Structure 1
Amino acid sequence: MVQADFRRDRLTWVAYVMLGWFAYLQAAPGLVIVHLRDELDLSYSTGGLHIAAFAAGSLLAGVISAQLERRLGRRTLFWSAAALMGVGVIGLTAGRIAAVTIGSVLVMGLGGGLLLVAIQATLADHHGERRAVALTEANVAASVAYVVLIGVLSLTAAVGVGWRVALLASLVVLALVWWGNRRLAIDAPPLSQVVHGRLPAVFWISAAMLFCATSAEWCITAWGATFVEDAAGVSSDSAIALMAGYFGGVVVGRTAGSRLARRHDPERLFAVALVVTAVGFGILWPSTGPVQALVGLSVLGLGLGNLFPMGLSVTVGLVPERAVLASGRAVGATSFAVLLAPLTVGTLADATSLTAAFGLVPVALALAAAGLLLVRRAQT
């Protein structure tokens, strides 16, 4: 059980802020795709390729992260990855054809995936047995960034400057954090703990559980605004604004989760989050108006917001002595989910409807529950 004496130092806060910056940009493709589809006349499938491109870059990052850290060191990897993600943002905002915007999101995913691995490993190594609290609090910062993104997108739409300004403005955060902390030590454990050693079978079961949970989350994150636009019959900007209910639910859920993680096992909290998610989806799926959609999205956020941090804590906690290797493989598994799930939903939506394609969500939740049961049995 996690103890209550948890201390946040400068390194912890830098990790939190940078994860928030990453999350702001990670969520951006799924929200701006409603604009890109209008501007570039994209199908559901082509729109889904933007989400898939981010995931493909992150998947590659999960494969190469441990080797890159061994060659570059964690601090160099940390800031270089952030810079690469920034380059991708510039390309996305400058692109006027699908090939350029998709390629730019791929670069964002590669840089962001490497940054995510470095952040998660740093928090896990730095806080040891209290990693569940650190990882959950970090994801509170990420969920706050989602809400900020909704607000900034709504503001830029209201004043008529467009979504591109909302993304480019985030680069100021990167510049300020780097300038103030470029000499901060971001150390890694001995190399033998970073790269070597086999991961046990129970780790891969837990990684599969995390894959399923992330699939459900990104079906909503990537296509939630588009679903609401179609189901509730609202404008693109109104659909994005309604997603504030989802991301607000994520903030509340993760804030509560970070407190509960001090006293309760992350496996138990993961199970509770699955139940809440199922309830929220049951409200959202049949919705035909904005009010019911908002309620469903809010409850979904409460549950989905905790699936990733709790699932990650369970997965990395199975092999705490090899945090970077485990974090890299976990990022690979979740990135594959982000690659596959939104693209599958987009393809199914083109063939049937987006409502029918959302049937993937309860299937993913059921498989995640089965994975949790297997992990618990393997530990007894």
Structure 2
Amino acid sequence: MPPRLVRDRLTWVMYVQLSLWVYFLYGFGPVAPILRDELRISRTLAGLHGTAFAAGGIIGGLILPRLTRRLGRGRLVWTGLACVSTAAVGMYAAHHLAVTLAFTTLASIGSAFTVNAINTGLTDHHGTAAPAAISEANAAAAALGLVAPLVVGATFAAGWGWRLGLAVVVLPVLAVAWYAHRHRIRLPEPAGYGAATALAHRPLPGPFWLALTSLFATGSVEICLTLWGSDVLRSHAHVSPGVATAGVSALIAGMVAGRLAGGRLLLLFRPARMLLAALGVSLVGFAGFWVATAPWPAMAGLFVCGVGTGLHYPLGIGLALAHSDGQPDLAAARASFAVGISFGAAPFALGALADRVGPHPAFLLVPAFVALSAVAVLRLDRVTLPPPARP
């Protein structure tokens, strides 16, 4: 009998908490070309915002195990969302590259706290239905993220600036904090919570590292599309800056659709096989986006690409946690390194290459990352297949 996903109040609160971070991420991503024009910097320097995301993820991953034991998952989530809110408001004072990088790093540290506590919380709370819950949580997050480029693009087009579009995230953070406090909603705490000394960790098994490799590659795909997709829309599909910023919503709409479908399919099919299928869909959509020279075909390609891309992270983190040898919090912390490094290395490499050959040819890095993930997942699927039944 397939597992059953039960959505209680705690589940919905975790969905919303994750969504609030994703609003900031997808709201800030399309701003990269506008920020580059505003600060009068090169694509290479603008790509440093990806490096800042990476630095924050790595810092967060380094301190996560100790903080999780000391603070617990509940306090860790709210600490993370406080960092994100501070960064969103702080962008009002960010008119220099060093300041925008500092607030980007702070938001990324907050994301490491929030995302990993929620992923492990969903895993503990839902058991065998956890992969479906993680996919559904990311679908909800992408749904709110879909609104972010539209809001940021609208405030920019109206002359109010992109910063207002980011700062509005503070209001729902306060609202959900009030709701959780009023109804006494708490995340399940990890083993060793409140321990004065560190618990010994076992080495993470080989299949986990294959899942981590896939997370690095698919994180690179997602951040490249999010940060530089609007630039390709402007340079190759002849879309205006404001419309290109909002046009990234096509990618996020596809991610919502993919994750909603994935939540149901994961109750029936193996996650590794699902991830391989999602990589194939991403590749098809990317091809349509890359060859398009007009706005609507390019956005249609982004949508199809998003259908596959939307499943990359929830499936990847689900596989990593499932193969952690009973150490989900440690696995989540290590996953922050992979995602953090991808967020730093991939956009910087793409930006540096785009300064040399242009953003359109440079975007061919994306299918290379898709191929890397496919190789890792194929290997993972082979080593974790159940042995054949004896006649």
TM-score over 0.5 for the pair: yes
The equivalent residue for 1:222 is 227
The equivalent residue for 1:238 is 243
Alpha-carbon shift at residue 366 of structure 1 (Å): 0.9
8 A contact 1:154–1:237 mirrored in 2: yes
8 A contact 2:73–2:188 mirrored in 1: yes
Match among 297, 301, 307 for residue 302 of structure 2: 297
SS class of match (1:197): coil
Amino acid in the other structure paired with 1:318: H
Alpha-carbon shift at residue 241 of structure 1 (Å): 2.3
The equivalent residue for 2:388 is none
Note the residue ranges of structure 2 that are not aligned, 5 or more in a row.
Answer: 386-391
The equivalent residue for 2:187 is 186
Alpha-carbon shift at residue 313 of structure 1 (Å): 1.2
Aligned-partner Cα distance in 1 for 2:339–2:78: 22
The equivalent residue for 1:83 is 82
Superposed CA RMSD: 1.7
The equivalent residue for 1:39 is 38
| Cα deviation digits, residues 164-196 of structure 1 (max 9, x gap) | 111111100111111221342223232299862
Aligned-partner Cα distance in 2 for 1:14–1:209: 28
Aligned-partner Cα distance in 2 for 1:100–1:124: 36
Amino acid in the other structure paired with 2:15: Y
Aligned-partner Cα distance in 2 for 1:366–1:91: 38
Tell which deviates more after alignment, 326-335 or 299-308: 326-335
The equivalent residue for 1:30 is 29
The number of residue pairs the alignment matches comes to 379
Amino acid in the other structure paired with 1:333: A
Structure 1 position 372 matched with structure 2 position 371: no
| Cα deviation digits, residues 232-263 of structure 1 (max 9, x gap) | 22211111122221111111111111111111
Alpha-carbon shift at residue 160 of structure 1 (Å): 2.7
Amino acid in the other structure paired with 1:277: S
Amino acid in the other structure paired with 2:315: M
Aligned-partner Cα distance in 1 for 2:46–2:6: 42
8 A contact 1:66–1:194 mirrored in 2: no
Amino acid in the other structure paired with 2:291: P
Alpha-carbon shift at residue 110 of structure 1 (Å): 0.7
The equivalent residue for 1:315 is 320
8 A contact 2:27–2:165 mirrored in 1: no
The equivalent residue for 2:389 is none
Alpha-carbon shift at residue 157 of structure 1 (Å): 3.2
TM-score computed with the length of structure 1 as normaliser: 0.96
Alpha-carbon shift at residue 150 of structure 1 (Å): 2.2
The equivalent residue for 2:338 is 333
Alpha-carbon shift at residue 320 of structure 1 (Å): 6.0
8 A contact 1:227–1:354 mirrored in 2: yes
The equivalent residue for 1:148 is 147
Amino acid in the other structure paired with 1:65: L
Alpha-carbon shift at residue 159 of structure 1 (Å): 3.3
Alpha-carbon shift at residue 25 of structure 1 (Å): 0.7
Alpha-carbon shift at residue 223 of structure 1 (Å): 0.5
Alpha-carbon shift at residue 18 of structure 1 (Å): 0.7
Please give the residue correspondences for 1:1-16 in structure 2 after superposition, counting only pairs within 5 Å. Answer: 2-3=2-3, 5-16=4-15
Structure 1 position 113 matched with structure 2 position 112: yes
The equivalent residue for 1:59 is 58
Structure 1 position 128 matched with structure 2 position 127: yes
SS class of match (1:64): helix
Aligned-partner Cα distance in 1 for 2:222–2:2: 26
The equivalent residue for 2:360 is 355
Distance 1:278 1:159, change over 3 A: same
Q: Kindly, what percent of the aligned residue pairs are identical? A: 36
Alpha-carbon shift at residue 158 of structure 1 (Å): 4.3
Aligned-partner Cα distance in 2 for 1:241–1:189: 40
8 A contact 2:139–2:260 mirrored in 1: yes
Aligned-partner Cα distance in 2 for 1:130–1:2: 9
Tell which deviates more after alignment, 148-157 or 300-309: 148-157
Aligned-partner Cα distance in 1 for 2:253–2:140: 12
Tell which deviates more after alignment, 208-217 or 135-144: 208-217
TM-score computed with the length of structure 2 as normaliser: 0.93
8 A contact 1:213–1:365 mirrored in 2: yes
Distance 1:323 1:159, change over 3 A: same
8 A contact 1:93–1:167 mirrored in 2: no
Structure 1 position 211 matched with structure 2 position 210: no
Deviation beyond 3 Å, 4+ runs, structure 1: 192-195
8 A contact 1:30–1:51 mirrored in 2: no
Tell which deviates more after alignment, 249-258 or 182-191: 182-191
SS class of match (2:291): coil
Amino acid in the other structure paired with 2:127: G
8 A contact 1:211–1:334 mirrored in 2: yes
